Amino acid sequence: MSAYYKEKKRTPTPDARTEPILEILRRLDTSGTGLLQRQRLVKLIHGLVPEMSPQSIEMLMDSSLHADQVNVRYQEFITWLFEGVTALRRPNENLEGSISVATWNVAAVNNNPFEYWLAHDDPSYVNLMIAVETCLASPSEAWDVPVCEIFTEEMFQELKDLMLEHGIHGVKEVEESMWRGPDLRLRDRRVVSEFIKDKSLGSKRLISMPDRITNTVQVVTRAPSEYKPPPACRPSVINNYLGDLSTLEAWWESWKRFMFLESLAVRTQQGVSIRRPCHMLEPIPRSKYPAISEKEERLAIPLQILCQAIFDAILVHLMHYCSPDGTWQVVKSQICDHLYRCKAQRTMEILETKYHTVDVIFLQEVASNFYDFFQRSSLATSFHCVLPSGMDGKRDQNSLLLLSKRFFNDSIEDVTAIIEESMEDGVRLVSSDLVAVAVSSRDQRSYLLASFHGDTAGALTLPLLRALFSCAAKRFPRHVLILGLDANSYEPPKAEQLPFTNLIEARQT
């Protein structure tokens, strides 16, 4: 495989994607000059990505401003390669067998305006973020109060009645052992030190799992229509919710109405389904998340609803504590206007304007309504869109492929099931995380193309690679394998996370 990029007329800046690679190269730069011998770097890159021939790597070096015939300014060159994806162009036609590719984790479900520090001119934003950070880093006794002082006993009883009314099982047991009892004693936990900062709640996915499903629901019209309705958002600080959050009482009324009363039209494998958010939640399997106990697994649905309600209540209270005059909602709205509203449309605009000349586009974490926007875009006439067979409208973390009609013919064979069958015993993929096809180009070259979105810790990445490489060798030996991968590898890794070095070693073997 080879890809070619236009030079960008500025000095590139390293980021989280390039830093692990650069750290390895810095260790080799014993002189500290920022230079590595050209041929040595060619061999290193070829070792990491064998599909890239030494000749194509040298061509990339020649087309950049960061290499001469002897040495390469490796930091600038590696960073330029990553940044160059935004300036991909068609390869020269005389480069036989070349193919241009791009891979992008769209992160359709990531809509939290306060997840990262942003470059924002409004001083109210900076003051708010500093205040929030201070409250979380060094909570005072006045702020770090028991949960029941924010999510009150009265609110719990209302939540309990609603869950029972909607046929959710295990509610009374959750009350006895999780809300009041010794198992989790959620009622009496301190809101920051014992709830927000409790890593075990994160490991058990008791907050992140329901948030993933109900944070931003991509809704559709009940009857076929050209109209694309805006997403439905759970009333929360951490999404694009537009309603009134000026008091905890206003939030709670809206939250109950959304979770238990609103009927949302969502796309499923069978078509359009009408569902309430409280019935969209899924079990948390202990086989995948071993931190969760057997009892918590059995009671996962009502327990998730309770933990989500507590979490959202704490965040509303936190924002009012840090911004008593309510300016935080103005700041939130400004950020959402710039970054998150009309996200699906803007994603399509980027693909249309920046990537329309690419031969293969690998996408991950795509919303279930992506295809609706694709069909109405200019890309529909020039690209095949390959969707997973089990398009997931709840998680909205679908992998898919866009294949240039100019480069590929129509002989597209979905081979996802073949790869899934090759997975090791006891390892199971979520159906929408992988899509793979065997396809021929118009010059009769055969390709095996796959797009994969791994789990947060990267636990499924290596088993997927082993299955994919095995299938490629046994079933598709004459095909060129290209994988667009959201690997979820880490440097340095924390417990249970996939180390970046393990990912590189797996590729080399």
Q: Which residue type does 297 have?
A: E
Task: Give me the pLDDT at residue 402, please.
Answer: 98
Find all residues with CB under 8 Å of 493, minimum gap 6, and list them. 499, 500
Q: Which residue type does 50 have?
A: P
The mean per-residue pLDDT over the stretch 365-373 comes to: 89
Find all residues with CB under 8 Å of 167, minimum gap 6, and list them. none
The mean per-residue pLDDT over the stretch 215-226 comes to: 90
* DSSP bridge partners of 216: 233
Task: Give me the pLDDT at residue 52, please.
Answer: 64
Whether 246 has a pLDDT exceeding 70, the answer reads yes
Task: Give me the pLDDT at residue 369, please.
Answer: 84
Whether 7 has a pLDDT exceeding 50, the answer reads no
Find all residues with CB under 8 Å of 280, minimum gap 6, and list them. 213, 214, 217, 266, 394
Task: Give me the pLDDT at residue 271, please.
Answer: 81
Task: Give me the pLDDT at residue 9, please.
Answer: 34
Task: Give me the pLDDT at residue 352, please.
Answer: 95
The mean per-residue pLDDT over the stretch 372-390 comes to: 93
Whether 63 has a pLDDT exceeding 70, the answer reads no
Task: Give me the pLDDT at residue 479, please.
Answer: 96
Task: Give me the pLDDT at residue 4, please.
Answer: 29
Whether 361 has a pLDDT exceeding 80, the answer reads yes
% of the chain beyond a pLDDT of 70: 90
Which region among 109-123, 194-208, 483-497 has the lowest average model confidence (pLDDT)? 483-497
- Could you give the CA distance from residue 149 to residue 126 in angstroms, rounded to a whole number? 28
Token representation of residue 142: 């006045």
Work out the number of other CB atoms within 10 angstroms of the CB of residue 149: 11
Task: Give me the pLDDT at residue 15, please.
Answer: 56
Task: Give me the pLDDT at residue 97, please.
Answer: 64
Angle, vertex CA 269, rays to CA 454 and CA 239, nearest 5:
55
Whether 141 has a pLDDT exceeding 50, the answer reads yes
Task: Give me the pLDDT at residue 19, please.
Answer: 75
Element (H, E) at 304: helix 300-322
DSSP secondary structure of 238-269: TS---S--SSHHHHHHHHHHHHHT--EEEEET
Whether 85 has a pLDDT exceeding 60, the answer reads no
Task: Give me the pLDDT at residue 506, please.
Answer: 76
Token representation of residue 108: 């359709």
- What pLDDT band is residue 495 in, cutting at 50, 70 and 90? confident
As a whole number, the mean pLDDT across the chain is 87
Structural domains of the chain, ranges and CATH numbers in brackets: 1-92 (no CATH), 99-113+342-509 (3.60.10.10), 139-339 (no CATH)
Whether 348 has a pLDDT exceeding 90, the answer reads yes
Task: Give me the pLDDT at residue 2, please.
Answer: 28
Token representation of residue 230: 């805006």
Whether 270 has a pLDDT exceeding 80, the answer reads no
Token representation of residue 69: 């015939």
Residue of higher predicted confidence among 337 and 163: 163
- What pLDDT band is residue 448 in, cutting at 50, 70 and 90? very high
The span from the first CA to the last CA of the chain, in angstroms, equals 18
- Could you give the CA distance from residue 1 to residue 507 in angstroms, rounded to a whole number? 15
Residue of higher predicted confidence among 392 and 421: 421
SS3 177: helix
Which region among 10-24, 60-74, 266-280, 302-316 has the lowest average model confidence (pLDDT)? 10-24
Residue of higher predicted confidence among 5 and 36: 36
Residue-wise pLDDT tens digits, 104-118: 999 888 889 998 888
